[in-house]
Amino acid sequence: MSAPLRPRPAVAAMAPYAPPTAGRAGKLRLDFNESTRPVPAAVAAALRAALASELLAIYPEYGTARAAVARHLGQPEERILLTNGTDEAIGLLVDTYVEPGDEVLLLCPSYAMYRFYAERAGAAVRAVDYRAEDLSFPLPELLAALSPRTRLVVVANPNNPTGTALDAAGLARLLAALPAAAPEAALLVDEAYFEFCGVTALPLLPHRQLFVCRTFSKAWGLAGLRLGCLAADPGNATWVRKAQSPYSVNALAAAAVTALLADPGPVEASVREAKAARARLFDGLDRRGFRPWPSAGNFVLFRAGEEARALCEALRQRGILVRDRSHDIPGTVRVTAGTVGQAERFLAALDGISEEGGRWTP
């Protein structure tokens, strides 16, 4: 075999990111914060109808879906882009605004794809840590880190994996600081878990420096179809659209979201259920001595000590998938809040492992 071609230096230097997505089917998936409930019947019907039509043969059209998403967000259509998951929205902002060597300001720990796209572009990544003691939002530290060199700031609100949320006043303070402290910076507020939290930066639009993204992968249950959206000031939206491939969202995703938003009732019910499951998980973990952190997302991060990895493996043996987050915060595990029944099953599995001699020192 001959030597591979030399990649761009930025690609060669990237930290590898390979989430453990293999072999998950059929298990209780509490590891990726996806929905754990079936898609609403109307969405399944819309997808069947789409398959029976000529839709797959035609390049996708987005008019109906974009109008539905804009209505859902309470925003004019000119501010909205449909994206191939939130991930495309993040990548597009980097592609539109960040040159090699430019500064991208992130929080740590947070969703891995921010760093992925920033490093791929050859950006200089600066990270501000969530507060070690309680994982609260380090707003003064973030404000102090802004500079005229900053081209992109990304805040996941609420944050994954910590569950931390910045309130509306905090978001407004951050945005208000930008024009003086970092006048050429785009602020992306990633509201992937908005439905479980209720705080949004959308009312702060239109603003020259603000971008807000949402996903249909979590509460809305369409992770496999890859659909997200980005809301921005119309002038900014035009530039970002210019950097986007014209067909990056597939036709089935567009058909599914139209049906989904026509009747959000089933999703609203599953969000209520996930919030109840989150409370059950927090309580059950706390009582078992795992010291969970409060979360505004559909997941709970907890301490499992040196045995974190072994605990994840023991749960996997029982058919339950959770995520070891020790690479973010040593000795921590994240579990998704699906249904209350699933939370009970997870807690019962913890008890079973404990009875069989499982040890952890949270």
β-pair partners for 333:
302, 324
Note whether 298 binds ligand PLP by CB under 6 A.
no
Cis peptide before 161 (omega within 30 of 0): yes
- Contact call for residue 109 and ligand PLP (CB under 6 A): no
Cα distance between residue 81 and residue 243, in whole Å: 11
Measuring CA to CA, how many Å separate 28 from each of 4, 319, 320, 326, 339? 40, 6, 5, 21, 11
Kindly tell me which residue out of 156, 187, 212, 274 binds ligand PLP, with binding defined by CB under 6 A: 156
236 lies in the binding site for ligand PLP (CB under 6 A):
no
Least Å distance, CB 110 to ligand PLP, is 7
Q: Does 279 bind ligand PLP (CB under 6 A)?
A: no
Q: Which span (194-202, 215-223, 246-254, 342-350) binds ligand PLP, by CB under 6 A? A: 215-223
Closest chain position to ligand PLP (CB): 85
Q: Is 223 in the site for ligand PLP (CB under 6 A)?
A: yes
Radius of gyration of the chain (CA): 21
Largest CA-CA distance found in the chain, in angstroms, rounded: 61
273 is an interface residue for ligand PLP by CB under 6 A: no
Rounded to whole angstroms, how far apart are CA atoms 261 and 311?
A: 39
Q: Interface with ligand PLP by CB under 6 A: which range of 85-93, 197-205, 282-290, 340-348?
A: 85-93
CB of 83 to ligand PLP, least distance (A): 8
Distances (CA, A) of 276 to 29, 104, 136, 280, 303: 17, 36, 22, 6, 21
87 binds ligand PLP (CB under 6 A): yes
Question: Among residues 40, 69, 94, 111, which is the contact residue for ligand PLP, using CB under 6 A?
Answer: 111
Q: Does 157 engage in binding with ligand PLP (CB under 6 A)? A: no
Tokens encoding 305: 């000590």
Alpha carbon 156 to its chain centroid, in Å, reads: 7
Residue of the chain from 29, 31, 33, 342 that contacts ligand PLP (CB under 6 A): 33
Q: Does 200 bind ligand PLP (CB under 6 A)?
A: no
The token pair at 156 is 């996941």
- Region at 291 (left for phi over 0; alpha for psi -120 to 50; beta for the rest): left
Contact between 217 and ligand PLP (CB under 6 A)?
A: yes
**Could you say whether residue 336 binds ligand PLP (CB under 6 A)?**
no
User: Total residues contacting ligand PLP (rule CB under 6 A)?
Assistant: 13
Q: Is 262 helix (H, G, I), strand (E, B) or coil?
A: helix
Q: Residue 321: phi, psi to the nearest 5?
A: -100, 130
192 binds ligand PLP (CB under 6 A): yes
- C-alpha distances in Å from residue 29, one per residue of 35, 73, 132: 9, 29, 28
Which of 228, 305, 331, 362 contacts ligand PLP by CB under 6 A? Answer: 228
Kindly indicate which of the ranges 83-91, 145-153, 300-308, 350-358 contains the residues binding ligand PLP, using the contact rule CB under 6 A: 83-91
Q: Is 292 in the site for ligand PLP (CB under 6 A)?
A: no
CA distance 221 to 184: 35
Asked if 221 interacts with ligand PLP (CB under 6 A), we say no
Interaction site with ligand PLP (CB under 6 A): 33, 85-87, 111, 156, 160, 190, 192, 215, 217, 223, 228
